Amino acid sequence: MQLTAPATARPGTTRNRTRDADGMAVASFILGLLGLLVFNIFLGPVAIVLAAVSLWRGTKRRGRAFLGMGLGVADLLVLLAFVQLDNTLSWSF
């Protein structure tokens, strides 16, 4: 009779976690890129958070995560620049 749980309760958990982190890195890049055009007040912070979480989880796509983080910051800077020019919270083409 075994009273303690095995050391690895679910095999492959680390692989799934890394794959999820890789997906988050790609998602942060895509959302940061998309945020330069539309919804940058929402997509910029989401891209930054996804990039930070993917780096914390140890993604293999570190470059993509850093690009996503940079694009998220750029989204917020673009929003700030257009807010200063238009004196409104939104902008359009």
pLDDT at residue 9 in the model: 46
The parent domain of residue 41 ranges over 31-86
Residue 40 lies in a domain: yes
Residue 41 lies in a domain: yes
Residue 11 lies in a domain: no
Residue 70 lies in a domain: yes
Residue 22 lies in a domain: no
pLDDT tens digits for 6-37?
Answer: 454 455 556 666 778 888 999 999 999 999 98
pLDDT at residue 84 in the model: 86
DSSP 7: S
Number of structural domains found in the chain:
1
- Whole-angstrom Cα distance, residue 72 to residue 65? 10
